[in-house]
Chains A and B, each alone.
Chain A
Amino acid sequence: MPQYASTSRKARQLKNTLFQAVAITAACLALMILATLLISIGARGLPELDAEFITQPMSSDSSRTGIGPALLGSISILAICALSAIPLGVASAILLEEYRPKTKLPRMLHGFVQSNITNLAGVPSIVYGILGFTVFVTMFSSEGLNDPWFDIGQEFYLEYPGAGGESYYAPSIEDGELTPAVVGMSVPIYASLEHAQAGGPLAEVRVVPAGDGELEQARQEARSRLRKVNSSMRRALRSATVDGTLQVDEASAQEIADAMLSPLRDDIQADYEEMKSIAAAELLAMKGLSAADQLLPRRKLYDKLLDKEFAAAGLKGLILEGTEPLRKDVKKWYYIQFPFGKGILAGGLTLMLVILPVIIVSAQESIRAVSQEMRAGVLALGGTKWQAIEKVVLPTAIPGICTGTILALSRAIGETAPLLLIAYVGLQAGPDHLMAGFSALPIEIYNWTSEADKSFRDAAAGGIIVLLAVLFSFNAVAVFIRQKFQQAN
């Protein structure tokens, strides 16, 4: 019998040790996975990280692409989300915790709302995405997207295309007449939108009669020459792609560069030589790009060349008589339209939907943790209920509320699914008004990862590192507040 007991004890001890070993392995496994994740991403993304990557816009060239506008977009929607979710969430938490109704019907409503909020915290975020799209972006209508019912905060200008390819702007009003340019026009004309907004300086521009045949001819010539160049460029690239060689060889690039540049005057010969070398280099850089990707660099090159040709022909600073202006609107930062459309306001409010339940629940927990005696103390001194909340409950609960809120915001900045419908991909500039379209960091990461060209995955890893850095610093602040608060107690 003692023999049996001792083997049994040994067996039990062994079991105990084994179990503990398995449990420790599980914990280590979880940590190892975290480490693997961080290392595998760090190894790919760290070489990408530099000031250029963080500030540059997205590019179709994976080695030159950046996250600048996406980062600005993420920050803007996070700010809107915080400004809307925090007051709403904390106020709702105070109402739900401190002003519990005592009669039957309101109490049932209170219970219903409470359980509703708790359950909403578990709803997948993509569901909030389609809700945000329906409520904020389109406001239930499918037509309102392109033609808002109501808008405020816009300035209108007339944009006159100049003979030399540049544009001139004249102030206007909404639905103002589109008066064609005439010789001796009296409206102030500015060289850029910024000048027009600031009210000066006026552009040095002259409206010339349309009958000036020489000018018109120079213009036509420059245009047609470049059109030819453009089509031969396209042909060369297309045949290179179809052949499967996927590149433009140096000889044909040079050939095109030669063909496109017929200097008009000797004194700008040097300029043309420079353009020639740029054209050859850019054409070579286009090798292996798909048709859609070729478009952008080719268009840029074309615009640059056209600009040169026009300048050489002496067309700068002229508007041809009878030129029809285009309507141009400039949106102020407070520009508002209904429905909101795909902009940062809609994006921020959608994120608010996602984190509102989380903020309410965590704020409620912190408020509930304040002992009842402290409230009773204020009431006993003749204070009102709000005084008790303002002077005692909130100061005690604020570290908890802060921690919960920061964690909720750190969740919001990493949310991808709810923004899929609202954000754009690859915008070249950050948002500049409340309704401006935006691209967000997680969306850009998703886009780069699903790109067929795998070289974008390094850029995605770089984006992830920035995202995680922001997130971890948020978490660090939350931990810091919690620690400080615990020490104070």
Chain B
Amino acid sequence: MTERIQTGDGLLGRTASPSPGRSRSTLLRDAKERLIVGTLVLCGVATISITILIVFILAQQAWGFFGDGLLDTQGRVTKVSLTDFLFGLEWNPTQGTDKQFGIWPLIVGTFQVTAVAMTIAIPVGLMVAIWLSEFAPAKARAVIKPMIEIIAGVPTVVFGYFALTFVTPMLQFDWWPSQENPLNIEIFNVLAAGLTVGIMCIPIVASLSEDALRAVPRALREGSYGLGASRFETSVKVVFPAALSGIVAACLLAFARAVGETMIVAMAAGLNPPDLVSGLGEVFAVNSGTQTMTGYMVSVFFSDLVPGTVEYQSVYAVGMTLFLITLLITVGGAYIRRRFRQQYE
């Protein structure tokens, strides 16, 4: 062993004359190493405590909203029970004396927008993914994929502006000479907000699904071609099913993004959540406005409500609900990807 080391010129000198400085340098090195690992652990602990604190604080603040009864802006004690919040069909937190804190109108409002968004994002996104992965020439792909990913980098406030100043006037047929507004689209409406959220989600679906499609081994495609299948048949009947777990996970991620999308709905969807008490008619009215969970939070932030009042604290309860819904979707997506992933090795 020693002989083999001594063949190296650089190491020869050191091993031949072990100086007293060597052990000191080893000590120093160990100390440095320990210091660095210590710093790393410190940073790690900071990150870990942040990640755990986030969940804890949100839960604690949301819990404070229920029970004891906080004062509202007029100084009255308002009690909100958890059952009222979870099962109530009426959401009227700020107006009048009869305040209602049932979360369902906001949840329904959120899913109105999300449903419109997904009907755009999933088909278009998947088509783009399949084309990029299975049909597009390498050069076209190298240009188009980054361009589509630019959409993902555009800030949502820009999309919100786009929805309000371009999509809504388009839907109102402002460009039509007679200016009739045949679809009866209001200034704030579900359709424009949903379409724009959908546009924002296209690159998420497309990019992640494309990654999943490309991860399917070439051998499967070759086998399919070998049996005489066309490109269409190969991609739809062989590659697509093989990548399904990744594609579903991509769609769920886009879904979570749409649920949590804030600025677009705050700018383009309006302030009135659907009225669930008088029937389900408003649920399907995409031409009128709605309010989502995120939209409600923004409206409270931009009002002059004071922290500590029941109206203001409701933000935490709504935020917690939103957090749990998106967490559920994200965890579900991760589970599907792990559980149903096909391993080709």
Contacts and interface: CB of A to CB of B under 8 A. Distances in A.
B232 A20 contact: yes
Contact of B158 (A116, A126, A467): A467
Interface in A424-456: 442, 445-446, 449-450
Given A20-B232, A479-B146, A353 B130 contact: no
A31 B144 contact: yes
A40 B307 contact: no
A126 B58 contact: no
28 contacts: A16-B233, A26-B123, A29-B124, A37-B154, A37-B158, A44-B165, A87-B43, A92-B48, A96-B44, A99-B37, A124-B323, A125-B262, A126-B297, A127-B322, A129-B297, A130-B297, A130-B315, A134-B57, A356-B50, A357-B51, A414-B153, A417-B298, A442-B157, A446-B263, A449-B165, A464-B161, A468-B154, A479-B146
A142 B37 CA distance: 39
Give the top 9 A-B pairs by smallest Cβ distance, nearest first: A124-B260, A414-B155, A91-B43, A26-B127, A23-B131, A122-B330, A95-B44, A417-B262, A16-B232
Contacts of B329: 122
B166 A20 contact: no
A130 B65 CA distance: 14
Given A27-B148, A385-B33, A421-B301, A127 B319 contact: yes
Interface residues of B, number: 87
Contacts of A417: 156, 262-263, 294, 298
A23 B135 contact: yes
A131 B61 CA distance: 10
Interface stretch (B83-91, B198-206, B212-220): B198-206
A415 B157 CA distance: 8
Contacts of B230: 12-13, 15-16
A262 interface: no
Interface string A60-93: 0000000000000000000000000001110110
B57 A131 contact: yes
B43 A95 contact: yes
A471 interface: yes
Contact of B47 (A124, A131, A356): A356
B113 interface: no
A420 B302 contact: yes
B263 A416 contact: yes
A421 B202 CA distance: 29
Contact of B156 (A36, A87, A413, A416): A416
A128 B230 CA distance: 48
B27 interface: no
Contact of B323 (A116, A123, A416): A123
A135 B53 contact: yes
B97 interface: no
Nearest to A475: B153
B162 interface: yes
Nearest to A357: B51
A419 to B, nearest CB: 10
Contact of A122 (B61, B128, B202, B253): B253
A41 interface: yes
Contacts of B123: 26
Given A91-B43, A410-B153, A130 B162 contact: no
A38 to B, nearest CB: 9
Contact of B260 (A22, A33, A119, A126): A126
Contact of A415 (B48, B51, B155, B307): B155
A270 B259 CA distance: 65
A356 B58 CA distance: 18
Contacts of B256: 122
Contacts of B128: 23, 26-27, 30
Interface in B47-67: 47-48, 50-54, 57-58, 61
B276 interface: no
Summarize A's interface: helix, strand, loop or mixed: helix
Contacts of B253: 122
A481 interface: no
Interface residues of A, number: 84
Interface in B247-288: 253, 256-257, 259-263, 266-267
Nearest to B165: A457
B269 to A, nearest CB: 12
Nearest to A109: B48
B131 A126 contact: no
A333 interface: no
Contacts of B135: 20, 23-24
B232 A118 contact: no
A27 B149 CA distance: 12
B111 interface: no
A163 interface: no
B244 interface: no
A229 interface: no
B238 interface: no
A95 B298 CA distance: 37
Contacts of A13: 230
B43 A92 contact: yes
Contacts of B144: 27, 31
B77 interface: no
Interface string B155-171: 11111111011100000
A442 B162 contact: no
A154 to B, nearest CB: 25
Contact of A31 (B30, B40, B54, B148): B148
Nearest to A467: B155
Contacts of A450: 267
Contacts of A138: 307
A113 interface: yes
A456 to B, nearest CB: 11
Contacts of A31: 144, 147-148
Interface string B105-131: 000000000000000000110011011
A351 to B, nearest CB: 13
Interface in A1-53: 12-13, 15-16, 19-20, 22-27, 29-31, 33-34, 36-37, 40-41, 44
A26 B131 contact: yes
A225 B257 CA distance: 61
Contacts of A460: 161
A411 interface: yes
Contacts of A385: 33
A386 B154 CA distance: 39
Contact of B161 (A20, A129, A449): A449
A385 B41 CA distance: 15
Contact of B127 (A27, A94, A126): A27
